[in-house]
Amino acid sequence: MCIFCKIVAGDLPSYKVYEDDRILAFLNIKPVSSGQTLVIPKKHFANLEEVEEDDLTALILAVKRVGYLLKTKLGIPGYNLSVNNDPVAGQEIPHFHFHVIPRHNNDGLSPWPHFEYNEGEMEGIIKKLQN
């Protein structure tokens, strides 16, 4: 049983931010920003592709509620949503989840670096995706 399933089962403590019959949201114990909240389906899914559509709908609606709570109750001006889908993308817990990360002006958190495509590279990617 994964650590998030243990939290859902009540075998491990958590600081609950939101809960309903399908979803649990709780404070991240190692946040990148104070108030960072993890929003998870109660049912175990390893990654986004496994999540059933009804659970995914409930999940994104809960993410919206949590974002609203963070903005109105903690007074944050904005937040990032993050999903690390599979280990290669940085997913440490094999239970699909959203990170809701509070942001403040000049908080030192930086977005990912950007690059420019080489000539013809975008066309090659589109060909592969559309076939």
pLDDT at 108: 86
Q: Which residues of the chain have pLDDT under 50?
A: none
**Element (H or E) spanning 26, and its range?**
strand 23-27
pLDDT at 114: 83
pLDDT at 86: 95
Judge whether 17 and 72 are in contact, CB under 8 Å: no
CATH number assigned to the domain with residue range 3-130, chosen from the 4 options 3.40.50.300, 3.20.20.70, 3.30.428.10, 3.30.390.30:
3.30.428.10
pLDDT at 6: 97
Catalytic residue among 95, 97, 99, 104: 97
Q: Tens digit of pLDDT for each residue in 21-45?
A: 999 999 999 999 999 999 999 999 9
Residue 97 a catalytic site member = yes
Q: In which order are the strands placed within the sheet that holds 78-82?
A: 16-19, 23-27, 37-41, 98-103, 78-82
Domain locations in the chain?
3-130
